[in-house]
Amino acid sequence: MAKSTKDIKALLAEMTLEEKVGQLVQLNTALLGKSTAEITGPAQKLGVDPAQLKYVGSTLNFHGVEEMIALQETHMAEDRLGIPICFMMDVIHGYRTIYPLPIALGASFDPDLVAKCTRMAAKEATAGGVQVNFTPMVDYVRDARWGRVMECCGEDPYLNSVMGAVQVKAFQGDDLSDPENMAACVKHFAAYGGAEAGRDYNTVEISERLLREYYFPAYKACVDAGVRMVMPSFNSLNGVPSIANKWLIEDVLKKEWGFDGVIISDYNAIGELLKHGITDDMKEAARLAFEAYCDIDMMSPGYCKFLGDLVREGKISEEALDRAVLKVLQLKKDLGLFEDPYRGATPEKEAAVCLTPEHRAIAREAAESSAVLLKNEGVLPFKKDVKRVALIGPFAATQAIKGFWACNGEDKDCISVEMGVKNLLPDAEVIAVEGCSAEWNELSREGFAAAVEAAKNADAVVLCLGEPQNYCGEGNSRADIRLPGVQEELASLVLAANKNTAVLLFNGRPLVLTEIDKIAPAILTMWFPGTEGGNAAARLLFGDANPSGKVSMSFPKAVGQCPIYYNHPNTGRPKRKAEEIHETYTSNYIGCGNLPLYSFGHGLSYSNFVYESLELDTDTMTDESTITVTIRVKNDSARKGREVIQLYMHDLYASTVRPIQSLIAFEKIELDAGETRDVTFTVTEPQLRFYDFNCNHISEAGEFTLSTGYADHLLHTKSFWLKK
């Protein structure tokens, strides 16, 4: 498709003040084209004058391509300058074909797979009329109580950075005007994932050094990848809400990182400045947000009602307004909207692209590659010649496994575990028994007897446990992250009845599985796997697929360990004795130990990978030189499999306390049965840098170590020296 030749500066010169303000307003499609009497519910509280609605520049939460076309047609017929509406949406992990949650994609440790899933989502969403996507979310997370851990890739800043940049490039492509590409929006800038006590929208108090070291890198990687839009976070950051935080937006995002794209508020974030107590006046809230470079006001009355007055009163210059409007017009021009306001989207195209066998195959591949085999004492894979399979638990037969915020995905399109096992084993008798509810307040045990009876008579038992899909996601924080309800009781009875049992988990966050781990011989987490989850689960359980995922966020032993993360610093009194032994006057817990139940980077396979050696080509490096690391890995089994080779670094002595380990590189490889391979990484001086007390990004001369294995369980370590 040809790029737009529209002269947006000439267009700007023709615009009235009201038309300019309109380009900076985003409202739900439910408000567009309505009279005052027709605007009801929460939208009514906005108090928007219907006369202003015809100028609105962008919209969100529309329902399919037909609504997009109808709204755009009406708008284009009435807009005197022919400026199209831009349609935006949250396409988090698929549009109609749903792939696993982002935290699961992080667990895949497979950037190529993430790119493939993202391109699939872009093709479906653009066919459905979406032009800008509020993705990726790259908030760094440490607390599994927070519901939105499902939307990010885990507790490591490097992994987050890699996956975020991959998604930006895959959504946007090389030419934004291509109708199968869409603009991406990185969120939530900044440190939304640092909410106190893991409670959504809660305050964040973090030092600048910690922000720069852990929380900023993934946002910066997305900016470097060319992301076209940034969304500031809801939370207050060190006392200032991000939407009005000039240091965050002006000093860091714009001046340091050079971002000159569109900045959009989160939903009513400008209005929430009043709730934060920053001001008691919506007009002042609009001024504060605009002066902090927010270009588009999403779903608050701030800009729509007051931005024009602020310009007329001289409190905001028209030059500043023009700069913001030009950025929005430039985005529309780059998307090709002036040539084709619909970007080729039609109902026929949407129907042809969505939920195709090809896309279902990608979703199944992603579900298989991101599942993590947490534990296996010889139970899995089950033999495929079994005569009777019992699927027990609240996730045995349900199709509600797509996960929270699955855009236009529908449960009815998902393959349940029961359906998947029946597809794989058409000659076996497959029995599904719910046993109990997955809800936290549903404590009925009436289904236990039937579950135990089914287990006794089965050749293989799958305990399908987890948390309901609406227990994670925005606003869904949990103080208790154990399995809800009476699922642990059900599991103990079923496992007592039949030892040939594996636990299959559905979850949007790491769960506390300490009691389950004590009794279950095998545990496989599917996260929320999406449309093809049941087929993927069956293939993994019965050996047609080999697990290769790794934990992307630590599973704590107890909720009291939260926040817990692998890349922590030592204290002045580190624990020295065995993990299970309490040690007085050192930093540890009574009765729990310090380590998580399953650490970052952990994940088993049906293959047996042996790490034979780690070698460095030199034990000294300088700012200009490099070190080549060679890790020799053997598949010492009769089964082909995939393994994630992880490289960790530790700076032993520095002017600020350093983490005991940091992931600096990884590669996912496939090894045939009996195959040995050397995997090499090149380590450079920038990978050794950190932020000193004054937030200078530096490296210091001294001793470092490089290790492989996974966090908390390193297998080979070698030292080297950085010379200055």
Kindly report, residue by residue over 274-320, the tens digit of the pLDDT: 999 999 999 999 999 999 999 999 999 999 999 999 999 999 999 99
Q: State the average pLDDT over residues 698-704.
A: 98
Burial class (CB in 10 A: 0-12, 13-18, 19+), 171: buried
What is the C-alpha separation between 690 and 215, in angstroms, rounded? 13
**What percent of the chain shows pLDDT beyond 90?**
93
Active site residue 427: no
The pLDDT confidence band at residue 579, using thresholds 50, 70 and 90, is: confident
Predicted pLDDT at 2: 38
**Token pair for 580:** 């299970």
What's the half-sphere exposure (Cβ side, CA atoms, 13 Å) at 710?
A: 23
Q: Is the dihedral of CA 96, 61, 161, 525 positive or negative?
A: negative
pLDDT reported for residue 1: 35
Give the distance, in angstroms, between the CA of residue 720 and the centroid of all CA atoms in the same chain. 35
**Contact by Cβ (8 Å): 364, 113:** no
The predicted pLDDT at position 40 comes to 53
At 3 the pLDDT is 46
Spot the catalytic one: 139, 266, 413, 712: 266
Q: What are the structure tokens assigned to 78, written together? A: 């009435």
First-to-final CA distance of the chain: 53
Confidence of residue 30 (pLDDT cuts 50, 70, 90): confident
Domains of the chain: 370-561 (3.40.50.1700), 609-722 (2.60.40.10)
Across the chain, mean pLDDT equals 95
Six-digit token pair at 642?
Answer: 């995939």
Query: Is residue 219's pLDDT more than 60?
Result: yes
Task: Read off the DSSP letter of residue 409.
Answer: -
Determine what percent of the chain is predicted with pLDDT higher than 70: 97
Q: Cα(100)–Cα(364) distance, rounded to whole angstroms?
A: 9
Looking at residue 453, its pLDDT comes to 98
**pLDDT digits 0-9 by tens, 638-683:** 999 999 999 999 999 999 999 999 999 999 999 999 999 999 999 9
Looking at per-residue pLDDT, the higher value among 704 and 51 belongs to: 704
The answer to whether residue 4 scores a pLDDT higher than 70 is: no
pLDDT at position 45: 63
Is a pLDDT exceeding 60 seen at residue 268? yes
What three-state secondary structure class fits 433? strand
Instruction: Report the alpha-carbon distance of residue 474 to residue 188 in Å, rounded.
Output: 12
CB 435 within 8 A of CB 449: no
pLDDT for 369 equals 98
Residue 35 has pLDDT above 80, yes or no: no
Alpha-carbon distance of 446 to 532, in angstroms, equals 31
pLDDT band at 580 (very low <50, low <70, confident <90, very high): confident
DSSP for 493-505 reads: HHHHH-SSEEEEE
Q: What is the pTM of this model?
A: 0.96
Per residue in 157-171, pLDDT (tens digit) is: 999 999 999 999 999
The radius of gyration of the chain's CA atoms, rounded to the nearest angstrom, is 26
Distance CA 706, CA 630 (A): 11
Average pLDDT over residues 62-89: 94
Cβ-count burial 8-22 (b if 16+ within 10 Å, e if not):
beebbeebeeebbbb
Does residue 33 carry a pLDDT above 70?
no
Question: Looking at residues 566-588, what average pLDDT do you find?
Answer: 91
Query: Nearest to residue 337, comparing CAs of 134, 176, 184?
Result: 176
Q: What is the mean pLDDT of residues 615-622?
A: 98
Peptide bond just before 190 cis, omega within 30 deg: yes
pLDDT at 42: 47
Side chain identity at 378, as an amino acid letter? G
